[in-house]
Each structure stands twice: as C-alpha cells, then as structure tokens.
Amino acid sequence: MDSICHYRNSEPAASGDGPLRGLRVALQPNFSVAGWPAEAGSKALAQFTALEDATIVRRLRRAGAVLWGSTRMSEFGFGLRGSQAGGALLERAADVELVLDLMGESRAAASRAGVCGFKPSYGLVSRCGLVDLIPSMECCGLLSRSLAQIREILKVVAGPDEGDFSLPDEKAPDFSSQAIDPSRIRIGVLREAREALSAGAQASLQASVDELARAGFSMVEVSLPEHGLFPVVHRIAGSVEASSCAGRYDSVRYGARAPGGKNWNGMYIRTRGAAFGALLKSYLIQGAFFQFDRYGAFEDACRIRARLVAGMERLAAEADFLLLPAVDGAAPEAPATLAETYAQFAPTLFANVTGQPALFLPARPGAPGAGFQLAGPRRSDPRLIALGEHVLKGRKGGGQ
C-alpha cells in the first residue's frame, strides 16, 4: 500500500453525520487539505503544506466522508507517468478516488484499474483550492466501483462557489436516481473516432456497440469531420495555459530553491530548471513558444476549439449520447515524450476540450478490450450516470 500512498491520514475518522458518512475517499496531493502535503507530484512544490481545505474537500468533510489519504500522482497531474491513480481502489483502501482530469487521466486510470471513471461537465464542480495546470480544460474526476457512490458525491460537491469565479452562475442539476428507457435513447458512434483506432481497438469498440444494441438502445453512426483536430487544439492551447500557470513557481514563497544563483533572475532560472521533470518541462517550453513566438497559432487553436464545441453540440440533435473508445492498445502504456503522451490520451482529449461530461465503463466480463466511454452534452451528468447504471445493472441481471 505504501507504493500508492503519498500521504496517509493517521486519523481517518468521519467528520459529520451527513449523507456520505463512512465513505472512504482518497485524493491526489493537488487537492488542498489543511495540514496535508500539497506537492502535486512536483519538486516545484516540495514540502508545501496546504493552508486550508479546497471547496470540494470542505463539502466532503461536511457530508461525513472519510479522507483516507492522498495517492501518488504524475507531475501536476499531467498524464499518468508515475501516477498510482486507481491504486487505492485496487487495494480496497478507499471507496472513491478523486483524480485530476486534464487529458482523460481519470478515465484512463479507471480503465487500468477496471473500475468506473467519471469526468464531470466543466463548471459543475468548484476548482477552488485545486493546484491547477490547464485551468480551462481540467476538472475533478471520480473513480469508483459504484456509480451510485459517484452520484452521491456529486450531489454534495456540485454547484456554485463564490471562491471559484470560473463557475457559471447555474444551479447544480438534480442527481437523484432516474430510470432509463433504452427504446427512447439514441447512442451515436463517432465515425472518425472509430477509424482512428487500431484494428484490435476497433474490434473492442464493436463489441461495446453490440452490447448496447442488445440492451435495446438505438445505435446510430454520427460524424464530426474535424475530430482529428482535438489533439492539436489541446496541445497548443493547453501548453500555453500550462506555461502561464507554471510561471508562479519561482521558489520565492514555496518550493525547493536551486543553489548558485547570483541574483534574482539567476535564482529563478536555476530553480525552474531543476523544479520540473523532463516531460512537463518540454510541455512548458512548447507553451512558451506558442505564447511568445507563434501567438497566432494559439489564436487559431482557440477558434478551432470553438468550432469543435459547436460541432459536438450539433451532434446532440442526432444522438442523445455518444459511444467512444477509451484507450487504443497501439498507444504506448508508459509514454516518455509529449507525442507519446498525446497518443495515449487521443481517445479522451475531446471531453476536456469541449467541457462535456464523459463516463468510462469497464468492459463486460469476457468481452475484448478494457471498456468504453459514454459522453453527453454539457450538464447532462445525472442522465449520463443513470445510463451507465442501467448498462451495469443489465450485466448483473444477465441481460447481456
């Protein structure tokens, strides 16, 4: 268990009598918990201790959840290299894990652990108290074996927060359990996402299509010709945001300070050179390039992003939900470069670019592949979770 643990709470007691009483929650050390290390997997925040609870942590405490501890994470949550996301569930040490989702990390970790993974709509859950890297694309993902537990957590943590000015002034949707009638639901299979897969991954996706068709859902093919631009947009816009965000890590107020600097500028350069790992450093350098030398490319990426958002919204007229792959077996499992990292997350990036909710479900026992994603329009989170519950219930009932 030590290999998955960054910090273990020595007194994991429930803090209230609310609806989550006794639910054990593990989280990554970029979610601020007062008095806990909040190093976010980076030397840039070495020995930094959170001064107060993040909004999501405060709401979990008030609802009676047990904060088990924090799990090891990749640097600032970028990718899964070095991350132990999902490990607390595999060890049965926690019931739910909170995982930062910038590129699809919560869904990829859920695939690795064989559990459910959910990325909420952007703007649904407060990011106040979260150590961020790509503010417009990241959010708190949830991993659990039980979608009911994910739904109960969202009931507690979703909704407006005066501490997070990025949240729209919208009332949280109703996360009460709801029935699903497959005969009234169309699920779209995105042609371009299927065609981008290796042969083996296409076969796995087809098995998922067949499962949902047998369950009574209407399966339709839909198309988004610009689908292949999601990685380009994410890589350019995301790296610029990351480069801007990481500028705060100068070792003046926190973080390890590299020796040998003869003045402030020398200290700053040396410290930043030592603070970041090779993968993140290359991402930040790329972001600085687009921010200062090729700003027009960044503006183009933002315009294309708006088109992609509109394109996914138009698909809602053709299908209520989308079925997409979650992983492609041809991608490297332990990427060491930016190109390999983006190849690993190519199937999941879309939801971070558009801000829509996405749910990973593990594959039916005996079926090929690890599982699949279901996605819906923004703020369709309750119905998307209900859809997932219906699919899993059908498996248990022998309907598949």
Q: What is the pLDDT of residue 331?
A: 61
| DSSP sequence for 120-133 | PPTTSB--TTB--S
Helix (H, G, I), strand (E, B) or coil at 382: helix
Q: What is the pLDDT of residue 56?
A: 98
d(CA 193, CA 227): 7
Range of the domain at 221: 5-235+297-396
d(CA 30, CA 242): 15
Q: Are residues 288 and 302 in the same domain?
A: no
Interstrand relation of 358-362 and 321-325 (parallel, antiparallel or unpaired): unpaired
Q: Are residues 317 and 285 in the same domain?
A: no
Q: Are residues 231 and 283 in the same domain?
A: no
Q: What is the pLDDT of residue 254?
A: 72
Residues of the chain with pLDDT under 70: 1-2, 13-16, 329-332, 398-400
Q: Are residues 136 and 268 in the same domain?
A: no
CATH of the domain at 365: 3.90.1300.10
| DSSP sequence for 170-211 | -PPP--------GGG-EEEEEHHHHHTS-HHHHHHHHHHHHH
Q: Are residues 279 and 380 in the same domain?
A: no
Residue labelled with tokens 């639901």? 185
Q: Are residues 222 and 263 in the same domain?
A: no
Q: Are residues 170 and 282 in the same domain?
A: no
Among 107, 130, 182, smallest CA distance to 374 is for 107
Among 123, 153, 151, 155, smallest CA distance to 139 is for 123
Q: What is the pLDDT of residue 255?
A: 74
Look at the chain and report how many structural domains it folds into.
2
Q: Are residues 254 and 224 in the same domain?
A: no
Q: Are residues 284 and 354 in the same domain?
A: no
In the chain, helix, strand, coil percent, each to 5?
40, 15, 45
Q: Are residues 370 and 231 in the same domain?
A: yes
Answer whether 118's CB lies under 8 Å from 149's CB: no
297: Cα within 13 Å, side-chain hemisphere: 18
Domain boundary among 296, 323, 338: 296
Per-residue pLDDT tens for 139-190? 999 999 999 999 999 999 999 999 998 898 888 999 999 999 999 999 999 9
Q: What is the pLDDT of residue 399?
A: 47
254: Cα within 13 Å, side-chain hemisphere: 18
Q: How far from the centroid of its chain's Cα atoms is residue 250's Cα? A: 27
Q: What is the pTM of this model?
A: 0.94
Domain boundary among 296, 316, 341: 296
159: amino acid identity, one letter: G
Q: What is the pLDDT of residue 400?
A: 43
Q: Are residues 260 and 304 in the same domain?
A: no
Domain boundary among 296, 314, 335: 296
Helix (H, G, I), strand (E, B) or coil at 101: strand
Q: Are residues 137 and 273 in the same domain?
A: no
d(CA 4, CA 81): 13
Element (H, E) at 139: strand 139-144
